[in-house]
Amino acid sequence: MKMIQAIIRPSKLEVLKEALFKAGINGMTISQVQGCGNQHGWKEYFRGSEVILNVLPKIKFEIAVNDSQVDSIVELITETVRTGEVGDGKIFVSAVEDCVRIRTGERGEKAL
């Protein structure tokens, strides 16, 4: 099992959810986060002083999937959210040791 975490633009959330639903992915966790990468934020003025805001609003999207689904899901996310501009985000893939469905006690891939 793998955990796919994607940091994306907020404007791409709905289109990504729809693409994942069409691909048969139903379980996901979505969080509103702030961060920065190559964009480095922007400058604003507050009470006459220049302030550099170096964090931007982003969406963190997390999906646990079977190993066989990783490449197709990463490709789907990339194609769906890419604008070609700085700030499109990142995708992280990591191993998941176990998963337990609390309601039934099922473990592993059956619990996904």
Q: What total number of domains does the chain contain?
A: 1
Report the DSSP beta bridge partners of residue 43: 52
pLDDT in tens, 78-107: 999 999 998 899 999 999 999 999 999 999
pLDDT at 39: 61
To the nearest 10°, report the CA torsion of 94, 18, 84, 66.
20
Q: Which of 5, 7, 92, 18 is nearest to 58 (CA)?
A: 7
| Structural domain boundaries enclosing 23 | 2-111
pLDDT at 56: 83
pLDDT in tens, 47-90: 887 776 677 889 999 999 999 999 999 999 999 999 999 889 99
CATH number for the domain including 36? 3.30.70.120
Q: pTM, whole model, 2 decimals?
A: 0.83
